[in-house]
Amino acid sequence: MTTSDVLLDVQGVSKSFTGTAGDELRVLDRIDLQLREGEVVALLGRSGSGKSTLLRIIAGLIGPTAGTVRYRGAALNGANPGAALVFQSFALMPWLTVQDNVELGLAARNVAPAERSRRALAAIDMIGLDGFESAYPKELSGGMRQRVGFARALVLEPDLLLMDEPFSALDVLTAENLRTELVRLWAGDAFPSKAVCLVTHNIEEAVLLADRVLVLGANPGRIIAEIAIEQPRPRDKRAASFDALVDQIYGLLTGRDTEPVAPAPDTATPTARPLPDASPGGLAGLVELVYAAGRRADLPDIADELNFELDDLFPLVDAAELLGLATVEAGDVELTEIGARFTTADIQESKRIFAEQARHRAPLVRTICKGLAGSRDGSLKASFFLDLLRRGFSPADARRQLDLAIDWGRYAELYDYDKDNDQITADPAAEVYQAVRGAWTA
């Protein structure tokens, strides 16, 4: 295959949605990319990077707010006629057989029944499900159902095969088997698509499958790096060159050099430095694992040992960094002296350390503490903080931020929350409460 022909051209694409309060929620910001004949491209990023939204814009399922998308030179004004999409959730019709599910797209294109059957059976055979043509989805394993999803897309013989995290709902061994099958099919002459675009948050998956990896930053999504993968297929995940690429991309996803400079935690507002989506218990577990590894650890190694995706661990790393318990350097997580003390202390001392770091370095926790200390009786309605948060977050994100702050503050014994009356109440013994109350009454 050659890589000279541009099949799809994305220029200056941005995408915003309108929140329930009428505010603009920007998901993608000025995306430029091309998909060329003969290549596999991976869109890799954390949750919130807008990679699935971008894939749907490429598919023509939603339109951009700004910018243009061209397929073979023609601007898209609806569904992309040269693309087929494989979903994470299989999206099979449970009342249809395997063959009927595969024929769905052909029927929508008014292909004659005999031709539909011929092409569907050939696609089913190609993806290794011959013998299951008359089976229903409930009779199939997850891996077999996803094979049906691949057959349903490939039977349309699309120029562009688009895949939205197609392996993430599968167990590790099944996912690995399907990735290997995809590489084998792509290398063969019978593969009907000219290019593949894959959305993933799995770094190893991107390096294993792609010719180019486009790394997206988050909030809003934008391309922060493009990495060419020049290793021949099939690729050896144990090779030093493979590990080097994984580490390079991991460094991009966790580094700060490619991100806008964020305000310091001890001066930032709650909207400028949101709380990472991490519980105190999860954070403590990560810090303990890093400590056991000699106070410095490679996060991909931890993810592999725990059988988690890297994306699942990123919020914990962000929380540890926000609280000053760890730093991220060259893709590795290293504990600070405070982080080491936090994980080796007894439960009461570790909670005291968490409280001290949270009230200084977690902006929303700090705001709540100061608000409570400045109130008449050390108590405020949670809805007061929720209304403030809605000025900078969507309603759902504002609620999640408040829930995280309540969880962190309760663990630190800085304040409590009564859900029945929606009241947050300060712990009178908390140092920040005493300090601010003293300033107010002086």
pLDDT per residue over 49-88, tens digit each?
888 899 999 999 999 999 999 999 999 888 899 888 888 7
For the chain, the domain total comes to 3
- Do 227 and 138 fall within a single domain? yes
Per-residue pLDDT of 384-415, as tens digits, reads 999 988 877 778 888 999 999 999 999 999 99
| Least-confidence region, from 170-184, 357-371, 393-407 | 170-184
d(CA 189, CA 310): 34
d(CA 407, CA 326): 21
Res. 270: pLDDT tops 90: no
Res. 21: pLDDT tops 60: no
Confidence tier at 244 by pLDDT (50, 70, 90): confident
Q: Which residues pair with 216 in a beta bridge?
A: 45, 223
CB atoms within 10 A of CB 392: 15
Res. 331: pLDDT tops 70: no
State residue 430's pLDDT score.
59
Does residue 57 fall inside a structural domain?
Answer: yes
> 332-335 and 326-329 as β-strands: parallel, antiparallel, unpaired?
antiparallel
- Do 289 and 322 fall within a single domain? yes
d(CA 105, CA 84): 9
State residue 23's pLDDT score.
62
- Do 74 and 218 fall within a single domain? yes
What's the token pair of residue 218?
A: 């988050």
Range 231-246 average pLDDT:
87
Does residue 137 fall inside a structural domain?
Answer: yes
pTM equals 0.72
| Of 86, 53, 221, 252, residue with least CA distance to 158 | 86
- Do 89 and 231 fall within a single domain? yes
CB atoms within 10 A of CB 38: 14
Residue 309 structural domain: 280-344
Does residue 375 fall inside a structural domain?
Answer: yes
d(CA 265, CA 258): 19
- Do 86 and 182 fall within a single domain? yes
| Least-confidence region, from 98-112, 128-142, 174-188, 246-260 | 246-260
- Do 138 and 183 fall within a single domain? yes
Range 263-283 average pLDDT:
85
| Of 402, 397, 366, 400, residue with least CA distance to 384 | 402
Q: Which range is most confident: 103-112, 218-227, 345-354, 386-395?
A: 345-354
d(CA 147, CA 136): 13
The secondary element (H helix, E strand) that includes residue 327 is strand 326-329
d(CA 400, CA 275): 9
Does residue 268 fall inside a structural domain?
Answer: no
Map tokens 């971008």 to a residue: 54
Q: Which range is most confident: 256-260, 312-316, 370-374?
A: 370-374
d(CA 359, CA 211): 46
- Do 163 and 310 fall within a single domain? no
Amino acid letter, residue 361: R
Are residues 212 and 43 in contact, defined by beta-carbon separation less than 8 angstroms? no
Domain end, chosen from 254, 271, 294, is at: 254
Per-residue pLDDT of 431-442, as tens digits, reads 544 554 554 444
- Do 337 and 424 fall within a single domain? no
What's the token pair of residue 311?
A: 């994306």
- Do 165 and 46 fall within a single domain? yes
Amino acid letter, residue 224: I
Does residue 264 fall inside a structural domain?
Answer: no
Are residues 246 and 204 in contact, defined by beta-carbon separation less than 8 angstroms? yes
Q: How is the beta sheet containing 74-75 ordered, strand by strand?
A: 24-36, 6-18, 66-71, 74-75
State residue 258's pLDDT score.
47
- Do 247 and 373 fall within a single domain? no
343 burial level (CB within 10 Å; 0-12, 13-18, 19+): buried
Are residues 86 and 150 in contact, defined by beta-carbon separation less than 8 angstroms? yes
- Do 182 and 59 fall within a single domain? yes
Does residue 266 fall inside a structural domain?
Answer: no
| Of 176, 178, 199, residue with least CA distance to 87 | 199
Range 151-165 average pLDDT:
88
Does residue 270 fall inside a structural domain?
Answer: no
Domain end, chosen from 220, 254, 288, is at: 254
Are residues 415 and 430 in contact, defined by beta-carbon separation less than 8 angstroms? yes
d(CA 424, CA 440): 19
Q: Which residues pair with 71 in a beta bridge?
A: 8, 74
Q: How many residues make up the chain in this entry?
A: 442
> From residue 305, how far is each of 63, 389, 430 by CA, in Å?
41, 37, 38
- Do 107 and 10 fall within a single domain? yes
62 by DSSP, 3-state: which? Answer: coil
State residue 441's pLDDT score.
44
Does residue 247 fall inside a structural domain?
Answer: yes
55 by DSSP, 3-state: which? Answer: helix
| Of 191, 195, 229, residue with least CA distance to 35 | 195
58 by DSSP, 3-state: which? Answer: helix
